[in-house]
Protein backbone atom coordinates (compact mmCIF):
# COMPACT_ATOMS: atom_id res chain seq x y z
CA UNK A 1 0.00 0.00 0.00
CA UNK A 2 1.50 3.39 -0.91
CA UNK A 3 1.83 6.20 1.59
CA UNK A 4 1.04 9.87 1.00
CA UNK A 5 1.81 13.04 2.90
CA UNK A 6 -1.24 15.24 3.32
CA UNK A 7 -2.26 18.38 5.15
CA UNK A 8 -5.68 18.76 6.74
CA UNK A 9 -7.07 21.90 8.34
CA UNK A 10 -9.56 20.64 10.89
CA UNK A 11 -11.55 22.94 13.17
CA UNK A 12 -8.99 25.69 12.61
CA UNK A 13 -5.96 23.51 13.34
CA UNK A 14 -3.43 22.29 10.76
CA UNK A 15 -2.39 18.63 10.72
CA UNK A 16 0.39 17.12 8.63
CA UNK A 17 -0.10 13.39 8.26
CA UNK A 18 1.13 10.41 6.30
CA UNK A 19 -1.77 8.26 5.19
CA UNK A 20 -2.18 4.97 3.37
CA UNK A 21 -3.80 5.16 -0.05
CA UNK A 22 -6.82 3.18 1.21
CA UNK A 23 -7.29 5.10 4.46
CA UNK A 24 -10.62 6.88 4.84
CA UNK A 25 -10.98 10.46 6.02
CA UNK A 26 -13.48 9.31 8.66
CA UNK A 27 -10.96 6.93 10.17
CA UNK A 28 -8.23 9.56 10.15
CA UNK A 29 -10.50 12.00 11.97
CA UNK A 30 -11.67 9.46 14.53
CA UNK A 31 -8.62 7.28 15.11
CA UNK A 32 -5.69 9.59 14.47
CA UNK A 33 -7.01 13.02 15.39
CA UNK A 34 -9.31 11.60 18.11
CA UNK A 35 -12.28 13.61 16.82
CA UNK A 36 -14.85 10.92 17.51
CA UNK A 37 -17.92 13.12 17.07
CA UNK A 38 -18.28 12.01 13.45
CA UNK A 39 -19.72 8.50 13.69
CA UNK A 40 -19.14 5.36 11.65
CA UNK A 41 -22.67 4.19 10.90
CA UNK A 42 -23.02 2.40 7.58
CA UNK A 43 -19.73 3.12 5.79
CA UNK A 44 -21.55 3.19 2.46
CA UNK A 45 -23.02 6.70 2.18
CA UNK A 46 -26.45 5.71 3.44
CA UNK A 47 -26.83 7.08 6.96
CA UNK A 48 -25.11 10.47 7.23
CA UNK A 49 -23.66 9.79 10.69
CA UNK A 50 -20.19 10.67 9.42
CA UNK A 51 -21.09 14.05 7.92
CA UNK A 52 -18.43 16.77 8.02
CA UNK A 53 -18.10 20.14 6.35
CA UNK A 54 -15.55 20.99 3.70
CA UNK A 55 -15.75 24.78 3.83
CA UNK A 56 -19.54 25.20 3.89
CA UNK A 57 -20.45 22.03 2.02
CA UNK A 58 -21.37 18.74 3.68
CA UNK A 59 -19.57 15.50 2.84
CA UNK A 60 -19.83 11.91 4.03
CA UNK A 61 -16.37 11.35 5.51
CA UNK A 62 -16.79 7.57 5.11
CA UNK A 63 -16.71 8.05 1.33
CA UNK A 64 -13.63 10.26 1.11
CA UNK A 65 -10.16 8.70 0.84
CA UNK A 66 -7.94 10.72 3.18
CA UNK A 67 -5.49 11.34 0.35
CA UNK A 68 -8.27 13.05 -1.62
CA UNK A 69 -8.84 15.44 1.28
CA UNK A 70 -5.32 16.87 1.08
CA UNK A 71 -5.56 20.63 1.70
CA UNK A 72 -9.23 20.53 2.74
CA UNK A 73 -10.59 22.98 5.27
CA UNK A 74 -12.75 20.70 7.44
CA UNK A 75 -15.20 21.33 10.25
CA UNK A 76 -16.39 18.43 12.36
CA UNK A 77 -19.14 18.59 14.96
CA UNK A 78 -16.44 19.39 17.54
CA UNK A 79 -15.67 22.62 15.67
CA UNK A 80 -19.18 24.04 15.42
CA UNK A 81 -19.37 25.74 18.81
CA UNK A 82 -17.68 29.05 19.51
CA UNK A 83 -15.95 28.24 22.80
CA UNK A 84 -18.75 27.54 25.29
CA UNK A 85 -21.40 28.95 22.96
CA UNK A 86 -23.12 26.25 20.95
CA UNK A 87 -24.02 27.02 17.38
CA UNK A 88 -27.73 27.81 16.80
CA UNK A 89 -28.50 24.31 15.51
CA UNK A 90 -26.83 22.58 18.45
CA UNK A 91 -28.71 24.82 20.88
CA UNK A 92 -32.03 24.26 19.08
CA UNK A 93 -31.57 20.46 19.21
CA UNK A 94 -31.21 20.74 22.99
CA UNK A 95 -34.08 23.21 23.37
CA UNK A 96 -36.41 20.94 21.36
CA UNK A 97 -35.29 17.68 22.98
CA UNK A 98 -34.37 16.43 19.52
CA UNK A 99 -31.85 13.90 20.85
CA UNK A 100 -32.69 10.34 21.79
CA UNK A 101 -29.74 7.90 21.67
CA UNK A 102 -27.68 10.64 20.01
CA UNK A 103 -25.80 8.52 17.49
CA UNK A 104 -27.13 10.36 14.43
CA UNK A 105 -27.06 13.80 16.02
CA UNK A 106 -23.53 14.93 15.07
CA UNK A 107 -24.28 14.22 11.42
CA UNK A 108 -27.71 15.81 11.66
CA UNK A 109 -26.30 18.94 13.27
CA UNK A 110 -23.48 19.26 10.74
CA UNK A 111 -25.85 18.77 7.79
CA UNK A 112 -28.32 21.24 9.29
CA UNK A 113 -25.53 23.77 9.68
CA UNK A 114 -24.67 23.38 5.98
CA UNK A 115 -28.38 23.75 5.19
CA UNK A 116 -28.68 27.08 7.02
CA UNK A 117 -25.52 28.41 5.42
CA UNK A 118 -26.99 27.58 2.02
CA UNK A 119 -30.52 28.73 2.83
CA UNK A 120 -30.95 30.84 5.99
CA UNK A 121 -34.74 30.95 5.57
CA UNK A 122 -35.86 27.39 4.79
CA UNK A 123 -39.42 26.08 4.95
CA UNK A 124 -40.33 22.69 6.42
CA UNK A 125 -40.24 20.87 3.07
CA UNK A 126 -36.78 22.24 2.30
CA UNK A 127 -35.48 21.00 5.67
CA UNK A 128 -37.03 17.55 5.24
CA UNK A 129 -35.59 17.22 1.76
CA UNK A 130 -32.13 18.46 2.81
CA UNK A 131 -31.96 16.00 5.71
CA UNK A 132 -33.04 13.03 3.61
CA UNK A 133 -29.49 11.61 3.62
CA UNK A 134 -29.31 11.55 7.42
CA UNK A 135 -31.05 8.64 9.13
CA UNK A 136 -32.27 8.54 12.70
CA UNK A 137 -32.98 5.04 13.97
CA UNK A 138 -34.85 6.51 16.95
CA UNK A 139 -37.29 8.17 14.49
CA UNK A 140 -36.79 11.59 16.01
CA UNK A 141 -37.29 13.53 12.80
CA UNK A 142 -40.17 15.79 13.90
CA UNK A 143 -38.20 17.47 16.67
CA UNK A 144 -35.13 17.67 14.45
CA UNK A 145 -36.93 19.46 11.64
CA UNK A 146 -38.47 21.82 14.19
CA UNK A 147 -35.00 22.46 15.63
CA UNK A 148 -33.63 23.52 12.26
CA UNK A 149 -36.57 25.88 11.69
CA UNK A 150 -36.15 27.30 15.21
CA UNK A 151 -32.43 27.81 14.63
CA UNK A 152 -33.21 29.64 11.39
CA UNK A 153 -35.65 31.90 13.27
CA UNK A 154 -33.13 32.66 16.03
CA UNK A 155 -30.42 33.42 13.50
CA UNK A 156 -32.76 35.83 11.70
CA UNK A 157 -33.67 37.57 14.98
CA UNK A 158 -29.99 37.94 15.87
CA UNK A 159 -29.22 39.83 12.65
- First-residue to last-residue Cα distance in the chain: 51
Q: Is 125 exposed, middle or buried (0-12, 13-18, 19+ CB in 10 A)?
A: exposed
Q: Which is nearer to ligand FES, 40 or 155 (CB)?
A: 40
- Contact call for residue 66 and ligand FES (CB under 6 A): no
Report whether 26 contacts 50 (CB < 8 A).
yes
- Contact call for residue 81 and ligand FES (CB under 6 A): no
- Contact call for residue 106 and ligand FES (CB under 6 A): no
- Contact call for residue 129 and ligand FES (CB under 6 A): no
* Conformation bin of residue 154: beta by default, left when phi > 0, alpha when psi is -120 to 50: alpha
Q: Rounded to the nearest whole angstrom, what is the least distance from the CB of residue 43 to ligand FES in the complex?
A: 5
- Contact call for residue 88 and ligand FES (CB under 6 A): no
Piece in contact with ligand FES (CB under 6 A), picked from 27-35, 74-82, 102-110, 145-153: 102-110
Burial 11-43 (b: 16+ CB within 10 A, else e): beeeeebebeeebbbbbbbbeebebebbbbbee
Q: Which is nearer to ligand FES, 107 or 122 (CB)?
A: 107
- Contact call for residue 68 and ligand FES (CB under 6 A): no
Instruction: List residues near ligand FES by CB under 6 A.
Output: 40-43, 45-50, 60, 62, 99-105, 136-138, 140
Amino acid sequence: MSKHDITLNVNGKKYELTVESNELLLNVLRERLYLTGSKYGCGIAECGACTILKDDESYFACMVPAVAADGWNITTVEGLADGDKLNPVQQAFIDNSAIQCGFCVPGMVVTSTALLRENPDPDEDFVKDYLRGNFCRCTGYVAMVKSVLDAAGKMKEAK
